A and B are shown apart, each in its own frame.
Chain A
Amino acid sequence: MCNQTVCLIAAELERREISTVVVQLLRFVAEKVRPPRALYVPFLHGYPLAVPNQPEKQHAVIEAALRLLEDDSQEPPVLVDYRPGPKEVQV
C-alpha cells in the first residue's frame, strides 16, 4: 500500500506547485494510480533505494529520479523503469 500512498501525497504536492517524483516498487500500482512522475525500481519491497549502506548505489537510484524531474519532454503520467547496473539487481 506504500506505493499508492506516496502517489496520493505526490498528487497533492503537485497541486501546490511542488514538482514530485515517486519511487515505485510495483509497476502495476503506478499504472493504476497514475502519479505525475514515477520511477519503477526492480527491487524487493523494503529496498526502494537498492542496497543498505551503499551510498553510491542509492545515489544512482536518486539520480535517475531527479532526471525525471529535469526531463521536460514528457507529459503525465510519467512512468520510467530504472535500469540498475548488474551489481544492483541482487539485494
Chain B
Amino acid sequence: MGDISEFPFSIQLFLKTYRWRRIDPIPWTPLAKPLAECRLGIVSTAGLSMPEQGTFDHKIKGGDPSFREVPSSVDASELVENHRSDSWDHGGVEQDRNLAFPIDRARELVERGRLGSLADRHLTFMGSVTAPGRMIRDHVGQAADIFVQEGVDVALLVPV
C-alpha cells in the first residue's frame, strides 16, 4: 500500500531513476485565519474534465500539461476520467469521483461550518507529466491566477 511495489518492475525502475524535481526554496504561507472563514479550492490530478471540455491528450510527449476549470456546482458523477496511466486502478474513481476530486465532501464541510466557502472554480490536471517544465512554465501560473481571482485561501491537492 502506498509503495512502488504495487507497480510492474519497469515502472519501479523508472520511479527509482527518474530525476524528481526538488522544490527549493520551499514557499510557505501559514494559515492566516480560521478554516471556518477560509475559501477552499480543490486541485485534482486524476485527469477529470467536464464532458464539453474535451479530454486530456494522451499523445503529448512528456504528458499533457494543460488543466481544466471545474465549476463548484458540478455533479461529480458527470465528470469524465481520462487519465492516461494504467499504473493505477481506475475502478475507485470510476465508482466515485470524490475519491480524487472531493467536491461533495467539501460542500459537506462548508455545511458543517468546518470551512467558510468553496471557490466557484476548481482545477483538474492529468498528473501523468514526466516532463513538468512546460506545465510549470505555461500552465501552473495560469492555474494559480484563477485561485487568486477566486479569493482562495487554502487548497487541497489530490493525486491518484
Contact = CB atoms under 8 A, between A and B. Distances in A.
Whether A and B are associated in the same complex: the answer reads yes
Contacts of B4: 26, 28
B29 A19 contact: yes
Nearest to A54: B96
Contacts of B147: 13, 16, 18
A25 B43 CA distance: 15
B96 A4 contact: no
Contacts of B158: 6, 22-23, 48-49
Interface in B1-53: 1-4, 6, 15, 20-24, 26-32, 35, 41, 43, 45-46
Given A13-B144, A58-B105, A69-B35, A6 B45 contact: yes
A83 to B, nearest CB: 13
A77 B27 CA distance: 9
Contacts of B58: none
B70 interface: no
A22 to B, nearest CB: 4
Interface in B104-137: 104-106, 108-109, 114, 123, 125, 127-130, 132, 135-136
B92 A8 contact: no
A87 B35 CA distance: 28
A42 to B, nearest CB: 4
Contacts of A22: 157-159
Given A14-B27, A53-B96, A26 B127 contact: no
